[in-house]
Amino acid sequence: MNDLSCDIKKLLKKLETLNDYAVERLVIENLQRNLNTLDELQQSYQRHYLTIIRTLLQQLASLPGPRQDAVQKQVACLEKLLTHLPTLSDLETLEQGLSELQNLLRPPPVLASPGQIIGDLPTGPHLPPAEAITPTQAALNRVQTLKQNNTHFAGAVEEILKTIEKLKSNADLVQHELHEQALQLLQGQRQLAEQLAQLQQQLVSLQSQNQRLSQELQHARNLSLTDELTGLPNRRGLLRRIEEEVGRLTRHPSPLTLAILDIDHFKQVNDQYGHTVGDQVLKAYADHLQAVFRRHDCIARFGGEEFILLLPSTNVDGALKALAKIRERTAGHVVQTQSKVVSLPTFSAGVASYRLQESIADFLHRADQALYRAKQNGRNRIETAD
C-alpha cells in the first residue's frame, strides 16, 4: 500500500513538469486535483485495512486451544509487518500467514514445507533499465502501474476476506462490524480502480495531443530553417550553423572557410526566360553544390541568386579547389524548357577564412567584399579576402 501512495506522489511530480505547456495546463491541473483526491482515499484505505488486520490478529492470539503457543508465535511474526504501512509484498505474506493460522486452528495440523519461513518477502521480477521517455509517457506508465497494483491489492483483500469467513465459521473470532469494514474497503478499491481507468484515458488523450503538437512544432521549425525552393538551409539556418562552428573553434581551433557564390546576370535569365526557368537554374546549382561538397559542409541559399558555402576544417586553398570543381560541372550543364535549352550562367565568388575572435558579421562582410571585387573585375571569377 505504501508503494501505491508513493506511485501517486511520483505521478504528481511528473505531471508538474507538463505545466510549461500552456495548452495542457487546465488538463494537468484537473488531473492533479484528481490524483490528490485519490491519494487521500488510498491513505484512508490503508488506515482501515491496518485496523482490520490488527483486530483479527488480536482475536486470533487470544483464542484458547492446544496450539495456542504456535498461534501466538505466528501472530507475533505477522504483527511485525504492521509496524509500518505494508507493501504489496507484505500483503502476500499476510495472506499466507492467515492461511497458516487457519491450519493451526483445526486438526490435523498442516506442517510448513521445509525451509519455509513466514515473513519472507517474495522476490520481485527483475526490471530492465528504463528508457528515456517524455513526462506524459512517464505519467501514463505510472497510472498503468498503479492500476496493476490496485488490482493486485483488491485481489489480496478478497483472499483475506475469504480467510476471515473461514476463520469466522470455525471459531467465530471476527465481529460483524469487522467484516463489514473489509467489504467497504474492497468496494472502495474497486471505485479507485474505476477512477484510475478514467485518469488513464485522459493521459492517453493528452499524450496523443502532445505528440501531434510536437510534430507540428518540429515541422514549423524545419520550415523556418529551410529554403522552400532548393531544400537547402536558408539564412536563419546558415547563421545558426556558423554560430555552432565558431563555438567549436574556440574549443578546438581548426580552419574554417566561407565562400559566397553569386550567379552572374541571373536577372537576365528571369527577364528573358521567366521566373520558372530561373527557379530551375537555382535548383540545378543547388544540386551541383551538394554533389561536390562533403556531408559536414553547409550549403545554404542566402537569398536571391546567392549561395553560401561554410567549409569546416578547410583552408582557402581547399575552398578554391572545390569551387573550381563547381565551375567545371556547371560549364556544360543546361536547363531544358518546353521551347529551348538554356545553359547555366557562370558564377562569381568571394572566399574568406575565419579569424579567431572576429564577429560573424565581420566574417561574412570580408567574404562579401571579396565577392564585390570579383564582380567589379569582370565576373566569372573568384576572389579571396585580405
Side by side, the strands of the sheet bearing 347-353 are 298-303, 306-312, 256-263, 347-353, 382-384
379 and 264 Cβ atoms separated by less than 8 Å: yes
Phi-psi region at 140: left, alpha or beta (left = phi > 0; alpha = psi -120 to 50): alpha
Q: What is the DSSP letter of 80?
A: G
Phi-psi region at 374: left, alpha or beta (left = phi > 0; alpha = psi -120 to 50): alpha
Question: Distances from the Cα of 172 to the Cαs of 105, 164, 180, in angstroms?
Answer: 12, 10, 15
Known catalytic residue at 305: yes
Largest pairwise CA distance in the chain? 117
Q: Of 244, 305, 306, 383, which is the active-site residue?
A: 305
274 and 324 Cβ atoms separated by less than 8 Å: no
Sign, CA dihedral 85-87-88-93, equals: negative
Query: Count of residues for the chain?
Result: 386
Sign, CA dihedral 90-91-94-96, equals: negative
Quote the cell numbers at residue 148: 496493476
Q: Which residues are catalytic?
A: 305
